[in-house]
Amino acid sequence: MRHVLSVASECVPLVKTGGLADVVGALPAALAPQGWRLRTLLPGYPAVMRKLGRKARTVREESDLMGGPARLLSARAAGLELLVLDAPHLYEREGAIYLGPDGRDWPDNPERFAALSWMAATIAAEGADSWRPEVLHLHDWQAAFAPVFLRDMGAAGSVGSLLTVHNIAFHGIAPASRLAELRLPAWGFHAGGFEYYGKINALKAGLVYADRLSTVSPTYARELMRPEFGMGLEGVLRSRGADLVGILNGIDETAWDPQTDPQISNFASPKRKRPNRKALLAEFGLADTGGPLAVVISRLTHQKGLDVLLEALPAFIARGGQLALLGSGDSELETAWLLAEEAMPQVAVRIGYDESLSHRMMAGGDAVIVPSRFEPCGLTQLYGLRYGAIPVVSLTGGLADTVIPANDAALTAGVATGLQFHPVERDALAGALAQLCDLYADRRTWNRMQRRAMAHPVGWAASAPRYAALYESIAPA
């Protein structure tokens, strides 16, 4: 077996805020059949430490790591091989892992994740637990300083480095005055390095200094080089275009399997979705109008386009549609959706997140709506395909790559699996929802599309070999 250290700020089932955690948690099992053994390095948040148990072993100690003592622990938990950075002064905080009680980023987030990157580089350079990786697989800005530290340690040639961009909207910005506190070398602080408008940019550090770059869908890889998607880093990405590849995410087909899912009434065909649909209507207090029951499971943010869905919603409801929403995020959007629930009996809202409920919503929903302004890959539409909840998605990123739109040609050829719309505006989304209602009324066409959706490949079978080939290309000979 070949060896990879996967470095991330979250990982299912230990700690999760979004799709990044799902991918990080799924990669070890997906890559093992390809001959690559992954160990995952995580911060020692309370939720992670509680799940390690007594078998965790200390394999390295630091007397002062970004302001306090730290230990590197080795353990197995939740079926994963883990290395955990136990640094109480950085991670021993209950609640959200990135945000303080005031809802804002922790002021020391730069130190918290520079420490994670530094430990990743140290493991690569010196080894840990009698083990050294051949490849560092770094995820998003929280791990992106590692290639800089590797170079500063003189160890860049001893290990290959891959940075995967899951969402380029988050950069990890810090003032230039914290250069020394973050253990960053002055040689990298310039326009061609990790300097960004006079500040330190963690994501840019990884984009510049990692051996190879990847992102989570082919379309998003192309989009990132355009100003409307690149978030100020499109020039850096264009300069490294030859080193950037888009590889679609997959889902855990064991955890998300409608035939064995313990959260639902199991089913293998669209007809057997009916008990779940009936149960979901009852759970959300909705009366069956005879139209499609759409679900939304999402963070409530501008990126996700749920303000546009609010604008398009009345026309959908007028056509007999119903909607159940589960999510949390911006307080203004939360309030707006609660007001919509009050105004429209066909709309039900749950503020928060509930993993079990999300499974029941996919199983009971006729459609899942994902109206994102940008979406690197998206997993929600993949869960929808797997459970026969027809995706209604914007034409962007991984949504464009995973859903075959129900246009005339696709319907005639019998390949359509969902609906797409563009641009992310009220009238375009309202048109897609009107088409949803029309398709739902044509039961023969609808049932065929559901069956095709449920048969569509959504796992790692195609993507895992591409990651393995990428690892092979950057591992030292």
Would you say 338 and 349 are in contact if contact means Cβ atoms under 8 Å apart? yes
Which token pair is 97? 């892992």
Separation CA 473–CA 471 (nearest Å) = 5
Give the integer Cα–Cα distance in Å for 127 and 3.
Answer: 12
Task: Concatenate the DSSP letters of all residues of 354-373 into one string.
Answer: -HHHHHHHHHH-SEEEE--S
DSSP3 helix / strand / coil % (the chain, rounded to 5)? 40, 20, 35
CB 97 within 8 A of CB 17: yes
> 459: closest CA among 174, 268, 253, 267?
253
Residue in the block written with tokens 């066909």: 346
Residues 26, 16 contacting (CB under 8 angstroms): no
How many Cβ atoms sit within 10 Å of the Cβ of residue 455?
Answer: 12
* Burial tier of 104 (Cβ tally within 10 Å: 0-12, 13-18, 19+): exposed
Alpha-carbon distances of 89 from 108, 423, 450, rounded to whole Å: 10, 46, 50
DSSP string, 35-89: TEEEEEEEE--HHHHHHH-TT-EEEEEES-SSSS-EEEEEEEETTEEEEEEE-HH
Asked if residue 199 belongs to a known ligand binding site, the reply is no
Binding site feature residues: 16
Annotated binding residues for ADP-alpha-D-glucose, written as ranges, equal 16
